Structure 1
Amino acid sequence: MDTWFQQTDHGIRFDWGPTGAERLAAGGVRCLVVVDVLSFTTAVSVAVEAGTRVFPYRWRDETAAPYAASHEADLAVGRRMASPSSPWSLSPAALRRAPFTPRLVLPSPNGSAIAAAAGDSPVVAACLRNATAVGRWLASRGYGRPDRPVGVVAAGERWPDGSLRPALEDLLGAGAVLAALREASGAGQPALSPEATAAAATYTATTDVPASLAACASGRELAGDGFPEDVAVASELDASTVVPVLHEEAFTAATD
């Protein structure tokens, strides 16, 4: 693959979906930031904030339960499958109401596939709830410099044929992280790629992010399916200072 798709001239890079994550990883990024606002990374932020270790899992099939059992973890189910015996799901609002669990497997083919693309590099879960905290954490560790490039990946959604559907909520979430990283880097800030610059500009130009989230296609779909609370939770701008980092298969809160 030609190197220009890896944005290698820039310390701060942006792309879409698992394939974009693979391209950035091949270009040598030292940290990968996953953004899946509705709802994987928002769910991760809510669970990790409560003290839960979250194990991402790529397959929502019959292999998920044995994987959870092997890690002595509870298994999150689909939104509509939540019940008193299985109260944990991909719904951030449901996770808030569910009993505390110390270990949770969260199946998410899209978000987990992006995380897996990073290889041995650190992976951070970002959303609108913790975007500023993530940007500051990255800057404090020197990510974004030419020798420590960072890639921010918007997960997007899927069309019925399986192709990527760029999703506004993830563009806004990624843009929020990129804008925060740019600001936290201060004078002599590392160069954003044109792709990253455009994503940050989309976020800073959006005057009412919660309203945009509620009115965008994914937000309307989720609310129409009976989960407006999930859109509301995902819209809690900078409500959290917790930075979930993938370590030993699980997302846990970064330490200073």
Structure 2
Amino acid sequence: MSGVHTQDGYRIRFDWGPVGAVASASDVLVVVDVLSFTTTLSVAADRGVPVVPCRWRDERATVLAREHRATLAVPRSAAGPGEVSLSPGTVRAAAGLARLVLPSPNGSAIAAAARVPVLGVSLRNRTAAAARIRTLLDAGRRITVVAAGERWPDGTLRPAVEDLWGAGALIAALPDDGRSPEAHAAAAAAGPVLADPAGMLHGCASGRELTAIGFGDDVDVAAELDAGTAVPVLEDGVFVPTAAAVPAAEG
């Protein structure tokens, strides 16, 4: 990728999906997957539960859970009473949850493939995350905020508006100085969701889809603007809900 496509020269950048995450030459990657990976991650972090992101939902996920002595989240539709899934309400309600392996085809996959420090951010913890990111910016780090997006049936990226809103809401809480035009555009898009989180999330395509299949409560949790206080940071393949330092940029 050329420098122009990596938004070189700007310290706050915005891009989409796995390809945008890989293209970034930043020092820190911020993953935003509002419905529902990073919302669920935020709920787990508020409970003090470490989360292992997983790009697969097959035997490899089972092996990963065994290696980490962790609970493996099951598909939403398969979760029985007391079982944990990608649904944030199940993480909030689960008893005795010590560590979680959380498969997700979008946000989790992006985080698991990253080669730089990763923060997980949703609307729930965007203010807490912004405070942390400001310290990174002050230390000279370059930040790329990646909207995870969803997938069309043919596997191509569907730019999901809820992730644009989540990314933009975070960027709007960061300094104006150093934003790329793409980051400015994302921040400008966040106004409606900041004014009416529940209404916008329930009204968008992904929110309507979740409600239609019986998971409207997931949308309600995602709309808990600024309710989360923990910022999950990926360390050695595990999102830890602490304020552990992000490694310094090279060079």
| TM-score category, normalised to shorter length | over 0.9
Structure-2 residue corresponding to 1:30 = 27
- On the 8 A contact 1:52/1:100 being kept in 2, the answer is no
Task: Give, in angstroms, the shift of residue 205 of structure 1.
Answer: 5.0
Alpha-carbon spacing, 1:62–1:52, altered in 2? closer, same or farther (3 Å): same
Structure-1 residue corresponding to 2:120 = 125
Structure-1 residue corresponding to 2:158 = 165
1:57 and 2:93 equivalent? no
Question: Given the alignment, which residue of 114, 136, 142 partners 1:141?
Answer: 136
Q: What whole-Å deviation, never above 9, does each CA across 1:54-81 have from its counterpart, x for those lacking one? A: 0001101122111101111110010111
Q: What whole-Å deviation, never above 9, does each CA across 1:106-139 have from its counterpart, x for those lacking one? A: 01121123213431x2100000000111111100
For 2:72, give the aligned amino acid: L
Structure-1 residue corresponding to 2:2 = 2
1:95 and 2:91 equivalent? yes
Task: Give, in angstroms, the shift of residue 252 of structure 1.
Answer: 1.2
5+ residue gaps, structure 1: 183-188
- On the 8 A contact 1:132/1:181 being kept in 2, the answer is no
For 1:14, give the aligned amino acid: F
Structure-1 residue corresponding to 2:178 = 191
Structure 1 segment 8-87 matched on structure 2, within 5 A: 8-24=8-24, 27=25, 29-84=26-81, 87=83
- On the 8 A contact 1:129/1:239 being kept in 2, the answer is yes
Which TM-score applies when normalising by structure 2?
Answer: 0.92
Alpha-carbon spacing, 1:98–1:167, altered in 2? closer, same or farther (3 Å): same
Q: What whole-Å deviation, never above 9, does each CA across 1:2-43 have from its counterpart, x for those lacking one? A: 22110002110000000000011xx2x111000000000000
Structure-2 residue corresponding to 1:186 = none
Return the alpha-carbon distance in structure 2 between the equivalents of residues 54 and 46 of structure 1: 11
For 1:116, give the aligned amino acid: A
For 1:179, give the aligned amino acid: A
- On the 8 A contact 1:31/1:118 being kept in 2, the answer is no
Aligned Cα root-mean-square deviation (Å) = 1.5
Task: Give, in angstroms, the shift of residue 97 of structure 1.
Answer: 1.6
Alpha-carbon spacing, 1:60–1:102, altered in 2? closer, same or farther (3 Å): same
1:225 and 2:203 equivalent? no
Return the alpha-carbon distance in structure 2 between the equivalents of residues 164 and 218 of structure 1: 14
Structure 1 segment 236-247 matched on structure 2, within 5 A: 236-247=224-235
1:150 and 2:143 equivalent? yes
Q: Hey, which bits of structure 1, 4+ residues long, moved more than 2 A? A: 204-207
Question: Given the alignment, which residue of 159, 183, 199 partners 1:211?
Answer: 199
For 2:221, give the aligned amino acid: V
5+ residue gaps, structure 2: 245-251
- On the 8 A contact 2:79/2:85 being kept in 1, the answer is yes
Which TM-score applies when normalising by structure 1?
Answer: 0.91
Taking only the aligned residue pairs, the percentage that are identical comes to 54
- On the 8 A contact 1:179/1:204 being kept in 2, the answer is no
1:116 and 2:112 equivalent? yes
- On the 8 A contact 2:89/2:217 being kept in 1, the answer is yes
